[in-house]
């Protein structure tokens, strides 16, 4: 699955950074870049191919928030701004994420993964994703980004500021919190079972007492999670 992107930002350096991040991320395709909101309006309104918009707020003539308000059909939008104070107003306009400059590649990937997840779910609903496996990207070291298929994930374990992702074939340690990573996963396929563990529901082999077995590994179910975990596993939606 590819996401077609447009950048709107009046700062050339900021545009260069986002363009560089897009070029390094498999599945993202840059359609066009604009340095002000006015020039971009006709292109956005008349282009149904746009999946994802990277949008600055403070721009001359037409700022990013008013640009969004003017659109009857909005692409998924990630705000890219140097100003934190517009976050609440932005989320009222249903933006996907709010990135404050300078934007790190790690934070960029987190936001983009949300877009991939939403588009993947839309494709499933529209029955356009037959035979296509859902995935997300994770940064496993300073230079390497791994495409990770969701159907290969067994469990995710918290290591404080890091997590270990256990898959059918390998294990990956990445710099992210368990809460943050779990939020990026589809809720119908993954569930938090403990403050230290999230698991893939369809990989559960046995439940015994307050623990779950997956691929010969046993995981504890936290007291505060047990009712929801057993309900979700025994009564899948």
- CATH number, domain at 114? 3.40.50.2300
Number of H helices, E strands in the chain: 7, 15
Please check whether residue 43 is in contact with residue 6, taking contact to mean a CB–CB distance below 8 angstroms.
Answer: yes
State phi, psi for 216 to the nearest 5 degrees. Answer: 65, 10
Asked whether residue 119 falls in the same domain as residue 159, the answer is no
How many separate domains does the chain show? 2
Q: Please check whether residue 32 lies inside any domain of the structure.
A: yes
Asked whether residue 224 falls in the same domain as residue 113, the answer is no
State phi, psi for 88 to the nearest 5 degrees. Answer: -60, -50
Parent domain of 174: 147-234
Question: How many other CB atoms are found less than 10 A from the CB of residue 37?
Answer: 25
- The tens digit of pLDDT for each residue in 132-151 reads 678 888 888 777 888 899 99
Q: Please check whether residue 136 lies inside any domain of the structure.
A: no
Which CATH number covers residue 228? 2.40.50.1020
Asked whether residue 11 falls in the same domain as residue 116, the answer is yes
Alpha-carbon distance of 78 to 52, in angstroms, equals 8
Alpha-carbon distance of 230 to 94, in angstroms, equals 33
pTM of full prediction above 0.85: no
- The tens digit of pLDDT for each residue in 151-202 reads 999 999 999 889 999 999 899 999 999 998 998 898 889 999 999 999 999 9
Q: Please check whether residue 135 lies inside any domain of the structure.
A: no
Q: Please check whether residue 138 lies inside any domain of the structure.
A: no
Q: Please check whether residue 131 lies inside any domain of the structure.
A: no
Please check whether residue 203 is in contact with residue 166, taking contact to mean a CB–CB distance below 8 angstroms.
Answer: no
> If pLDDT is split at 50, 70 and 90, which confidence band does 127 have?
very low
Q: For residue 130, what pLDDT is reported? A: 46
Alpha-carbon distance of 191 to 212, in angstroms, equals 12
- The tens digit of pLDDT for each residue in 49-101 reads 899 999 999 888 888 889 998 888 889 999 999 988 888 888 888 898 999 99
Q: Please check whether residue 36 lies inside any domain of the structure.
A: yes
Asked whether residue 120 falls in the same domain as residue 227, the answer is no
């Amino acid at each position: 699955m590819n996401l077609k992107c447009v950048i709107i930002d009046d700062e050339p350096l900021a545009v260069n950074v986002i363009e560089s991040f897009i070029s390094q991320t498999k599945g993202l395709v840059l359609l066009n870049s604009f340095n002000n909101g006015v020039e971009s309006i006709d292109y956005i309104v008349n282009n149904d191919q746009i999946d994802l918009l990277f949008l600055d707020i403070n721009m001359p003539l037409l700022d990013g928030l008013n640009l969004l308000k003017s659109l009857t059909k909005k692409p998924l939008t990630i705000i890219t701004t140097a100003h934190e104070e517009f976050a609440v107003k932005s989320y009222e306009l249903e933006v996907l994420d709010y990135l404050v400059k300078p934007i790190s590649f790690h934070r960029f990937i987190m936001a983009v993964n949300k877009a991939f997840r939403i588009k993947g779910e839309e494709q499933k609903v529209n029955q356009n994703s037959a035979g296509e496996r859902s995935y997300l990207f994770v940064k496993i070291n300073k230079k390497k980004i791994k495409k990770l298929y969701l159907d290969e994930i067994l469990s995710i374990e918290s290591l404080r500021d890091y997590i270990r992702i256990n898959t059918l074939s390998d294990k990956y340690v990445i710099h992210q919190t368990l809460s943050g990573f779990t939020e990026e996963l589809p809720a119908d396929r993954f569930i938090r079972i403990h403050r230290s563990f999230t698991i893939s529901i369809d990989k559960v082999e046995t439940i015994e007492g307050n623990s779950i077995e997956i691929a010969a590994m046993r995981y504890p179910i936290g007291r505060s999670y047990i009712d929801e975990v057993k309900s979700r596993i025994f009564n899948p939606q």
